[in-house]
Structure 1
Amino acid sequence: MTKEEFKTFWTLTYPDTIPISYLFKNDYSQKWFRIHSLPESKRYPESENEWGILLERQNQIITDLFGENEKILLVTGEYNWGERTTFITDEEEVFKPYKFLRLDNIDMFEYNSDDYDKGEIYRPAFAEIIWNLNHYNKLLREIAINNVSAFFVSIVKNIIVVPYDGGIDFIFKDSETRDFYKEKYKDWLSEREDGL
């Protein structure tokens, strides 16, 4: 996939947002739900047993959604306040196995002048990968302790999967698909009324 193809796909499929993961749950709230990675909504694992639970849950649901040997996109990025010249995919060891294409900078002030100042930009990048069970555990662990941020996208199934430190957010192609998986994984949902 070229940079131009990604831009076309994103604009047509997710016209109400930009490729920054914290925006998705608000921009597509009718297609969103969240699971927690540990029982009782515990945020961070403190033992190898808890790491096992976290990775088992995350691999199970992601594989259920994407399937094995499915081509998907790994998307990440970084904020840049004008001083940094290196890119996160060059700095972080966990990203080095992947061949990232850098997308056009997003002017955050232009996107949201209430929360950002002039000159603040976001620099996204994506890599084409093949999803396989337990193949991305190192990356999932780094995300789970908030060392890096990244999300996965299935172009074929129109699903966004956003692991974070505490769980995973999902954006589905429609609310019916969301409701199916929300019911299937109801034991992993938050007890909070807002689903967070």
Structure 2
Amino acid sequence: MSAVSRSWRRFRRRGGDFAAAATDAETRDLTRSWNAVWGSSDPSGQALRVGHPDRWVRLWSLPEGKRTADDDAEAAVILGRHRSVLGMLNPSGEPFVIVGADWGPGDGGGGWSRRHLAGRRPWRASTDPHEGSTTFFWLAERTLHGLDDLLRLASEDMAHIIAMPTDMSWIYAPYDGGADVLVVDDAVRAELRERYADWLSPRADGL
């Protein structure tokens, strides 16, 4: 086991928190890239949607904005839509960078990443100045098909992730009801809207 692996493995706790972020060169490079493309925004769908509304598109997982599946057929539709969009954004099939947001043992939802985000390493933490709660962001890698379990969990509000390429030119943030997609390139974003026009919200605010 490498020194880096030993150093971050000791940060694992009962919840989804950690004592300190990884400091290896790869993680530092990723942080610099994030700051260059996405600035001070936290790596979560909600924060990115608010911070970069000009790059944002919301797609629904089921017709008419239905949030959750009632049967296996609807669950298959949800997974199929996620796969379709991710395949369009990532035609090369390169592995995705995954960021999982988690919380400490004091939060009832904390600890999901310890159970479901194998290979995670600690990246960064963010404390809400109003509520005082801290969100811990973990890094991992997955292929498209390796994302299936996380996408299913996200559709049930049991996992909180974003997926992105190494150049961070787009971000895919699934949630229970759809996905927030943020795309830097105007042409790619326009193609996304055109190709998946039937999955867009009819609401004026796009939600």
Where on the TM-score scale, by shorter chain, does this alignment land: which range? Answer: 0.7 to 0.9
| Contact 2:62–2:177 under 8 Å retained in 1 | yes
- In 2, distance between residues paired with 1:135 and 1:68? 15
- Residues 54 and 88 (structure 1), Cα distance of their counterparts in 2 relative to 1, 3 Å cut: closer
CA distance in 2, matches of 1:87, 1:11: 27
Instruction: Go from structure 1 to structure 2 and tell me whether the alpha carbon gap of 1:49 and 1:192 turns closer, same or farther (over 3 Å shift).
Output: same
Q: Distance in 2 between matches of 1:193 and 1:143?
A: 25
Q: Distance in 1 between matches of 2:149 and 2:111?
A: 20
1:135-146 superposed matches below 5 A: 135-146=146-157
Equivalent residues of 2:172, 2:180 under 8 A apart? yes
Aligned: 1:52 with 2:52: no
Unpaired runs of 5+ in structure 1? 110-114
1:151 is the counterpart of 2:162: yes
Detail structure 1 runs of 4+ shifted over 4 Å in the superposition. Answer: 81-84
C-alpha deviation, 1:157, in angstroms = 5.8
Matched residue type, 2:128: M
SS in 1 for 2:158: coil
Consecutive unaligned residues of structure 2, counting only runs of 5 or more, are: 1-24
2:174 match: secondary structure: strand
Task: For residues 124-178 of structure 1, give each alpha carbon's deviation from its aligned partner in whole angstroms, at most 9, with x where no partner exists.
Answer: 111133x33x432221111101011111011236110000000011010133321
Paired residue for 2:60? 36
Contact 1:81–1:121, Cα closer than 8 Å, also in 2? no
Cα RMSD (Å): 2.2
Shift in Å, 1:87: 5.1
Aligned to 1:162: 173
Aligned match of 1:70 in 72, 80, 94? 94
8 Å CA contact retained: 2:102, 2:113: no
Residue 50 of structure 2: aligned partner: 26
Equivalences for 1:165-184 in 2 at 5 Å? 165-184=176-195
TM-score for the superposition, normalised by structure 2: 0.79
Q: Aligned partner of 2:56: which letter?
A: W
Once the two structures are TM-superposed, the CA of residue 180 in structure 1 deviates from its matched residue by 2.0
**Which residue of structure 1 aligns with residue 131 of structure 2?**
116
Match in the other structure for 1:112: none
- Aligned match of 1:105 in 125, 130, 142? 125
Deviation at 1:88, TM superposition (A): 4.0
Cα offset, 1:71, TM superposition: 2.5
Q: 1:81 to 1:15 in 2, by over 3 A?
A: farther
The letter for the 1-side match of 2:188 is T
Specify the code of the residue in structure 2 equivalent to 1:116: E
Q: Could you say if the C-alpha distance between residues 56 and 82 of structure 1 is closer, same or farther in structure 2, counting changes exceeding 3 Å?
A: closer
Percent identity among equivalent residues?
23
Give the TM-score, by structure 1 length: 0.83
Q: Which amino acid aligns with 2:126?
A: I
Relative to 1, partners in 2 of residues 1:25 and 1:178: Cα closer, same or farther, differing over 3 Å? same
Pick closer, same or farther for the CA change 1:62–1:184 going to 2, 3 Å: same
Q: Which amino acid aligns with 2:157?
A: N
User: Secondary structure at 1:74's aligned position in 2?
Assistant: strand
| Residue of structure 2 in register with 1:127 after alignment | 140
Closer, same or farther in 2 for the Cα pair 1:54/1:104, shift >3 Å?
Answer: closer
Determine the C-alpha separation between the residues in 2 that align with 1:8 and 1:16: 11
Q: Report the 3-state secondary structure (helix = DSSP H, G, I; strand = E; otherwise coil) of the residue aligned with 2:48.
A: helix
